[in-house]
Amino acid sequence: MSHHLVEVNELRYTYPDGTQALAGVDFRITHGEAVAIVGANGAGKSTLLQHLNGYLWPSSGQVRVGDYALTKQNLQDARRSVGMVFQDPDDQLFMPTVREDVAFGPLNLGLSEEDALQRVTTALRQVGALHLQDRPPHRLSSGEKRAVAIATVLAMSPDVLVLDEPSTGLDPKSRRQLIDWLAGYRHTKIIASHDLDLVLDLCQRTIVLSAGKVLADGPTREVFQDQKLLEQSRLERPLRLQGCPVCSLASS
Amino acid sequence: MAGTESRLFDITFLDMLACQESPVHRLDARAKVLTTFIFVVVVASFDKYAVVSLLPLFLFPLVLVVQARLPYGFLGKRLLLVAPFALMVGAFNPLLDQQTQLLLGTFAVTGGWLSFLSILLRFTLTVGMALVLIAVTSFPGICNAIDKLGAPRVFALQLLFLYRYIFVLGEEARRMVRARSLRSFHGRGNGLKVYGALLTQLLWRTIERAQRVHKAMLSRGFVGTVPLLQMKRFTWQDGAFVGLWCGFFIAVRILSGSAELQVWVAELLK
Amino acid sequence: MHMADALLSPQVGGVFWVAAAGTIAVCSRKLKSDPDDSRIPLMGVLGAFVFAAQMINFTIPATGSSGHLGGGLLLAALLGPSAAFLTIASVLVVQALFFADGGLLALGCNIFNLGFFPAFLAYPFIFKPLTGTRPSRKRLFWASLLAALVALQLGSLGVVAQTSWSGIAALPFTSFLLVMQPIHLAIGLVEGLVTAVVVGLIWNGQPELLRLSTARSAAPVAGRRKLVVALLSVAVLVGGVFSWYASAQPDGLEWSIQQVTGQEELAHSQPPVHGLLAALQEKLAFLPDYGFADLSEMEDGSLQSRSGTSLSGILGAGLTLLLALLFGLAARKRPHRS
């Protein structure tokens, strides 16, 4: 019954040019979890995400969404239940107006226009972007684009929300709004990010990828305290977990 | 051909105009597309020496410009920028066609001058109207209209996608040009070799972008067809707009051919 | 170079609108049955690419002027003819609306001149045969250069023919042609060179992008046949416009049309009545003298009538040749199918 489950077994993927991007990845994410996937550039994050809704097919291994292994037959179903928010909202918002863009998914699911528009309203209201519905995407700010991109996915009522670098290009205020919103979203979340402070705010669990393998998988705070692990995977302890140089200087 | 960056600016500006609120903007896009098209055909159908009889047709673009509160200056500048080709070709008319067509008192006007003037007026009317159309109807609105008027869906989509990514790729091109000019000195760096590399770079990015967009479409259930929303219903105001204006165009056209009008115009000119 | 509304008669504009719309319909249907749905975003984004690319230019050495990409042939080489045609058409629609390049009535002509020639003539009959089945960088270079050049020459010929057919500009066909073709030879060389450089760089970087469309359009047999049908229908259309022109211009039909529509009441001497065929025969025989005859008569008041008939003569000759060529190509392609 639980669609909210994502499981990856022994996942390997080699690009046609011979680069091995995933070299045996395993994890299981259950209902309601918020999991971060972190790692250096080229560690395999994007490749991994592209497997989760069947855009790439594993060279070997398996992806399970809900209770079923992902196959070409249940692909459409998996794509509905795993909602993917892309790194660049300009890739995701391709229709002429916000309304049509958000309606794109529901209409593809076969909903009537009336029901689809109902979902558009609900999804846009959820992300606080209802007032943008008549605007063309190219006239939105980065923060607005991000919110609408999330709404396009919410309108499909996914069971799992996958976000790729959600805070890129946002000003601090928009970033904070995004974090607050995501914190309030109760379904399963998978977030790939370099923004470790955001990860610290949102995810109880963190998976560290390095060279196509899972280097660590555990509670976020523990992972971020492990200096050796962080260095090995070209990461840095989140600012909030570092001592503040200004305050400590002032006090000494 | 307009300058490089100004093209992007023009699109952005016209796009902004199209988002304004006015009675003309509120009309159904189909009505505006249809009426404009009939307008252009009527303008083209006038005799090659028609000058005075074309003048009443200026009413249509002018009324729209006023009603929609469009900036005259911008439209005028655009018209001047695109004028050269039609003017260059038309400029031969006075040289080549020297038969007297009209006597203004003792002053003989040759057919060449008349037809040249006519070309100028036609140009202003048709090109001006194309600009007015886009300034009072959003481009997506036009695409939706032609989709509903029977154009193939694939083509309507093509237009929509193209339009959407003009802004994204235009920005990318602008950044590349800026980056090149910041490191080019004494004309070096503006040659074909660098240009080719720049263009190819832009092409790679474009193709990668297309792949990501396709991915985004697939992840939202795309299976080969793109649904477009229904348009608002065609109201009686829309119908009246089409009917009245087209009636006006056709009336002007028919009257222009009548002998009485010709005589009247000739009298007026004397 | 864009054809302009101001120089266009509704008849010529209409015929090319129908031709352009018909080709768009055929291409759209063909794409709809294409299982590769990634081409929908690719076409759209590549259309935007042509715009963006035109924002970048380069300095032509020793002239101080600048050149940029035309795009038609490059699109054909990346997308195949049908998708390329639709993409070019969409670019022209945006140009007509936003930059007033040409205008709405001339849109049909422009789509035909700048879309049909590169996608359905230059690409399949020049670019592909010249690159062959085992393309090399050198072959690609010359094939791109030549195909882009020829496409632009044909496009420019289209502008001249459409202007003459419309009869609003007084410029005689031959003189106009003599001005336009050399100018477009220069522009075409620049555009061809750019296309050749970019195609070469694509070949170095991701050759499969080019091979994809080559293989795709070469493989399906049905595609070939549709192409032939398309070519034939265009030939018929062109022939139709021509015969309309021919019957309207030099003989009595013109006069009666004027009576019906009430045009040209003002004093306007009728051109001498010349049967089309007679004119054609006569003019064909003295073809070399032709341009001179026209030019020397420039100051002469009777020029208009002369140019009227000479125009139809040259047009007739050119179009007969074109038709023959198209039929020839069609016939040659047929055996491939069986």
- Name the residue in chain A with its Cα closest to that of B207: A91
- Residues 6 or more apart whose Cβ sits within 8 Å of residue C134: none
For residue A14, CA distances in Å to A18, A23, A63 come to 6, 8, 16
Task: Return the C-alpha torsion angle C83, C86, C92, C97, nearest 10.
Answer: -130
pLDDT at C250: 33
C233 shares a domain with C130: no
CB of C268 within 8 Å of a chain B CB? The answer is: yes
Contact B233, A117 (CB under 8 A): no
Domain assignment present for C240? yes
For the cut 90, the answer to whether the pLDDT of residue C295 exceeds it is no
C279 shares a domain with C170: no
Helix (H/G/I), strand (E/B), else coil: B71: coil
Beta-carbon neighbour count of residue A143 at 10 Å?
A: 18
- Residues 6 or more apart whose Cβ sits within 8 Å of residue C320: none
Distance, in Å, from the CA atom of B241 to the CA atom of B28, rounded to the nearest integer, reads 10
C238 shares a domain with C112: no
Domain assignment present for C263? no
C172 shares a domain with C38: yes
Instruction: State the burial class of residue A93 (Cβ atoms within 10 Å of its Cβ: 0-12, 13-18, 19+).
Output: buried
Q: Please indicate whether residue C240 or residue C192 has the higher confidence score (pLDDT).
A: C192
C232 shares a domain with C198: no
Scan for tokens 């009636």, then name that residue. Answer: B247
C34 — pLDDT class (breaks 50, 70, 90): confident
Q: What is the mean pLDDT of chain A?
A: 89
Domain assignment present for C246? yes
For the cut 80, the answer to whether the pLDDT of residue B113 exceeds it is yes
Give which of C110, C230, C121 is closest to C163, Cα–Cα. C110
Contact A23, A212 (CB under 8 A): yes
Cβ <8 Å between B140 and A113: no
CATH number of A6-88+158-251: 3.90.550.10, 3.60.130.10, 3.40.47.10, 3.40.50.300? 3.40.50.300
The contacts found for A43-47 with CB under 8 angstroms, 24 or more apart, are A43/A209, A43/A210, A43/A211, A43/A212, A43/A233, A44/A209, A44/A211, A44/A212, A45/A164, A45/A192, A45/A209, A46/A164, A46/A192, A47/A13, A47/A21, A47/A22, A47/A212
C82 — pLDDT class (breaks 50, 70, 90): very high
With a threshold of 0.90, tell me whether the complex ipTM lies above it.
no
Q: pLDDT per residue over A120-132, tens digit each?
A: 999 999 999 999 9
Q: pLDDT per residue over B170-214, tens digit each?
A: 888 888 888 888 887 777 777 788 888 888 889 988 999 998 999
- Name the residue in chain B with its Cα closest to that of A53: B219
pLDDT at C62: 62
Q: pLDDT per residue over B52-111, tens digit each?
A: 888 889 999 999 999 999 998 888 888 887 777 777 777 778 778 777 777 777 777 788
Give which of B75, B77, B85 is closest to B134, Cα–Cα. B75
Cβ <8 Å between C37 and B49: no
Cβ <8 Å between B161 and C44: yes
Of residues B163, B221, B226, nearest to A80 (C-beta): B221
Give the A:B interface size as CB pairs under 8 Å: 85
C90 shares a domain with C229: no
Give contacts of B111 with chain C, Cβ < 8 Å: 170, 268
Give strand pairing partners of B109: B102
C139 shares a domain with C116: yes
Here the tokens at position C278 are 């007679």
C237 shares a domain with C198: no
pLDDT at C172: 81
Q: Which of B116, B199, B205, B219 to mutate to test the interface with C (most CBs of C within 10 A)?
A: B199
Which of A148-152, B227-231, C132-136 has the highest average model confidence (pLDDT)? A148-152
Contact B142, C96 (CB under 8 A): no
Distance, in Å, from the CA atom of B70 to the CA atom of B62, rounded to the nearest integer, reads 10
Q: Which of B6, B10, B54, B96 to mutate to test the interface with C (most CBs of C within 10 A)?
A: B96
Of residues B157, B196, B257, nearest to C263 (C-beta): B257
Distance, in Å, from the CA atom of B101 to the CA atom of C283, rounded to the nearest integer, reads 30
pLDDT more than 70, % of chain B: 92
Contact C304, C271 (CB under 8 A): yes
Helix (H/G/I), strand (E/B), else coil: C43: helix
- Name the residue in chain C with its Cα closest to that of B118: C6
pLDDT at C6: 80
Sheet arrangement for strand A213-219: A82-85, A160-164, A188-192, A34-39, A205-210, A213-219
Contact B258, A138 (CB under 8 A): no
Helix (H/G/I), strand (E/B), else coil: B185: strand
C229 shares a domain with C205: no
What single string gives the DSSP state of each residue in C23-41?
HHHHHHHHHHT-S-TTHHH
Distance, in Å, from the CA atom of A195 to the CA atom of B21, rounded to the nearest integer, reads 41
Domain assignment present for C243? yes
Scan for tokens 């692990």, then name that residue. Answer: A229
Beta-carbon neighbour count of residue B215 at 10 Å?
A: 21
By DSSP bridging, strand A82-85 and strand A34-39 are unpaired
Q: pLDDT per residue over A19-52, tens digit each?
A: 899 999 999 999 889 999 999 988 889 899 999 9
Cβ <8 Å between B15 and A136: yes
Beta-carbon neighbour count of residue A212 at 10 Å?
A: 22
Q: For chain C, what is the domain count?
A: 2
Scan for tokens 């000759």, then name that residue. Answer: C317
Average pLDDT over residues A68-97: 89
pLDDT at A248: 64
CA C146 to chain centroid, in Å, comes to: 15
For the cut 80, the answer to whether the pLDDT of residue C300 exceeds it is no
Q: pLDDT per residue over C236-293, tens digit each?
A: 444 444 444 433 333 322 332 233 333 333 333 333 333 333 343 344 433 333 333 3
Give contacts of B216 with chain A, Cβ < 8 Å: 84, 86, 91-92, 94
Domain assignment present for C48? yes
Cβ <8 Å between B37 and C56: no
- Name the residue in chain C with its Cα closest to that of B258: C262
CA C331 to chain B, closest CA, distance in angstroms equals 30
pLDDT at C203: 86
Give contacts of C101 with chain B, Cβ < 8 Å: 82
pLDDT at A250: 53
DSSP state of C59: E
Helix (H/G/I), strand (E/B), else coil: B110: strand
Beta-carbon neighbour count of residue C64 at 10 Å?
A: 8
Last residue of a domain, one of C219, C248, C278: C219
Last residue of a domain, one of C219, C248, C279: C219
Give which of A225, B187, A35, A208 is closest to C62, Cα–Cα. B187
Helix (H/G/I), strand (E/B), else coil: C102: coil
Of residues C37, C170, C205, nearest to B200 (C-beta): C205
C159 shares a domain with C81: yes
Cβ <8 Å between B170 and C52: yes
Average pLDDT over residues A197-207: 93
CA A53 to chain B, closest CA, distance in angstroms equals 7
| C116-135 residues touching B, CB cutoff 8 A | none
CA A28 to chain B, closest CA, distance in angstroms equals 21
For the cut 70, the answer to whether the pLDDT of residue B46 exceeds it is yes
CA angle, C240 then C245 then C248, to 5°: 125
| Phi, psi angle pair for B227, to nearest 5° | -75, 135
Instruction: State the burial class of residue A201 (Cβ atoms within 10 Å of its Cβ: 0-12, 13-18, 19+).
Output: middle
Domain assignment present for C265? no
Task: Return the C-alpha torsion angle C179, C180, C184, C186, nearest 10.
Answer: 10
B256 — pLDDT class (breaks 50, 70, 90): confident
Cβ <8 Å between B257 and C55: no
Cβ <8 Å between A86 and B138: no
Worst-scoring range by mean pLDDT, B20-29, B79-88, B156-165, C178-187?
B79-88
A249 — pLDDT class (breaks 50, 70, 90): low
Of residues B140, B217, B230, nearest to A113 (C-beta): B230
Domain ranges, residue C245: 220-256+270-338
Here the tokens at position C195 are 């296309």
Domain assignment present for C16? yes
Q: pLDDT per residue over C149-169, tens digit each?
A: 999 999 999 999 998 888 888
Give strand pairing partners of A62: A9
Here the tokens at position C202 are 């694509």
For the cut 80, the answer to whether the pLDDT of residue C297 exceeds it is no
Of residues B14, B86, B152, nearest to C4 (C-beta): B86
Give contacts of B165 with chain A, Cβ < 8 Å: 94
- Name the residue in chain C with its Cα closest to that of B208: C42
**C-alpha torsion sign, points B190, B193, B198, B202:** positive
For the cut 50, the answer to whether the pLDDT of residue A17 exceeds it is yes
- Residues 6 or more apart whose Cβ sits within 8 Å of residue C335: none
What single string gives the DSSP state of each residue in chain A?
---S-EEEEEEEEE-TTS-EEEEEEEEEE-TT-EEEEEE-TTSSHHHHHHHHTTSS--SEEEEEETTEE--SSSHHHHHHHEEEE-SSHHHH--SSSHHHHHHHHHHHTT--HHHHHHHHHHHHHHTT-GGGTTS-GGGS-HHHHHHHHHHHHHTT--SEEEEESTTTT--HHHHHHHHHHHHH--SEEEEE-S-HHHHHHH-SEEEEEETTEEEEEEEHHHHHH-HHHHHHTT----GGGSPPHHHHHHH-
C105 shares a domain with C224: no
CA angle, B180 then B185 then B191, to 5°: 60
pLDDT at B219: 87
Worst-scoring range by mean pLDDT, A242-246, B47-51, C258-262?
C258-262
C161 shares a domain with C134: yes
Distance, in Å, from the CA atom of A175 to the CA atom of A182, rounded to the nearest integer, reads 11
Distance, in Å, from the CA atom of A175 to the CA atom of C190, rounded to the nearest integer, reads 48
Distance, in Å, from the CA atom of C70 to the CA atom of C143, rounded to the nearest integer, reads 16
- Residues 6 or more apart whose Cβ sits within 8 Å of residue B63: none
Q: pLDDT per residue over C320-333, tens digit each?
A: 445 444 444 444 44
Distance, in Å, from the CA atom of B17 to the CA atom of B19, rounded to the nearest integer, reads 5
For the cut 50, the answer to whether the pLDDT of residue C317 exceeds it is no
CA angle, B29 then B35 then B38, to 5°: 140
Report, in angstroms and rounded to the nearest whole number, the Rg of chain B calculated over CA atoms: 23
Give contacts of B213 with chain C, Cβ < 8 Å: 41, 45
pLDDT at C222: 44
**C-alpha torsion sign, points B75, B78, B82, B84:** positive
Helix (H/G/I), strand (E/B), else coil: C67: strand
Give contacts of B7 with chain C, Cβ < 8 Å: 51, 54-55, 99
Here the tokens at position C243 are 């015969």
Q: What is the CATH number of the domain that holds C185?
A: 1.10.1760.20
